[in-house]
Amino acid sequence: MSRIGKSLTAIFFVMTLVFAATLVMSAINYSEFYRALSKFAVSLVSADPALEQDKPNVTVVLAVINNSSYVGFKLKRVWFTLSFLDNSQYTYLVGDGISLSEPTLLSPYQNLTLQKTTLISMGRETTQRFLTIYNQSLGNIKWMMECDVIVATFVGEINVISLKAYI
């Protein structure tokens, strides 16, 4: 075999190894995809009400967590509703979302914190009831959050998680 033939054989051998390694890594990541969906998590870190110029608002802090080694989740949106405890039942207060201008890649085991301040614009009766409870409890409100997390993946957009959380 000539020198050029040996060089070409070596080049093709190295290219085959690189291709095979890339294929194996992609297959391993793909096999993790469905397990990763079940490990995805979101939690309500805090919900802090405030009064600014007699207008109630609430600042919501969420943690979105990729609890797996999967690479490929891109966070697009988080929708949430927030309800407050009024006597023994939860009363809907506000619904809003956090849409990212560019989908954000969630690295393996990454915890991404998102924050949104939302004006409370419910009906007068609900807003007054909330303000009464807020003042009586010195701002220590019991919350229930319902949340949907939308991520982009190789199969398109997926509602990864729908949950209720209490704080």
CA atoms within 13 A on the CB side of 89: 3
Q: Which residues contact 54 (CB under 8 A, 6 or more apart)?
A: none
Instruction: Look up residue 76 and give its amino acid.
Output: K
Q: Is residue 34 part of a domain?
A: no
Q: Is residue 2 part of a domain?
A: no
Identify the burial level of 62 via C-beta atoms within 10 angstroms of its C-beta, where 0-12 means exposed, 13-18 middle and 19 or more buried.
buried
Instruction: Look up residue 16 and give its amino acid.
Output: T
138-166 residue pLDDT tens: 778 888 889 899 999 888 888 887 777 77
Q: Is residue 20 part of a domain?
A: no
Question: What CATH number did the domain enclosing 60 receive?
Answer: 2.60.40
Q: Is residue 72 part of a domain?
A: yes
Q: Which residues contact 45 (CB under 8 A, 6 or more apart)?
A: 61, 62, 63, 113
Q: Is residue 54 part of a domain?
A: yes
Give the domain range for residue 155.
Answer: 40-166
Q: Is residue 1 part of a domain?
A: no
Q: How far apart are CA 46 and CA 24, in angstroms?
A: 41
116-132 residue pLDDT tens: 998 887 778 888 888 88
Residue with the bigger pLDDT between 110 and 42: it is 110
Range with lowest mean pLDDT among 40-44, 51-55, 127-131: 51-55
Range with lowest mean pLDDT among 14-23, 92-101, 128-137: 14-23
Q: Is residue 51 part of a domain?
A: yes
Count of the separate structural domains present in the chain: 1
77-98 residue pLDDT tens: 999 988 988 888 998 888 898 9
| Total-model pTM | 0.74
Arithmetic mean of pLDDT over the chain? 85
Q: How far apart are CA 15 and CA 21, in angstroms?
A: 10
Q: Is residue 32 part of a domain?
A: no
- Say if residue 56's pLDDT is above 90: no
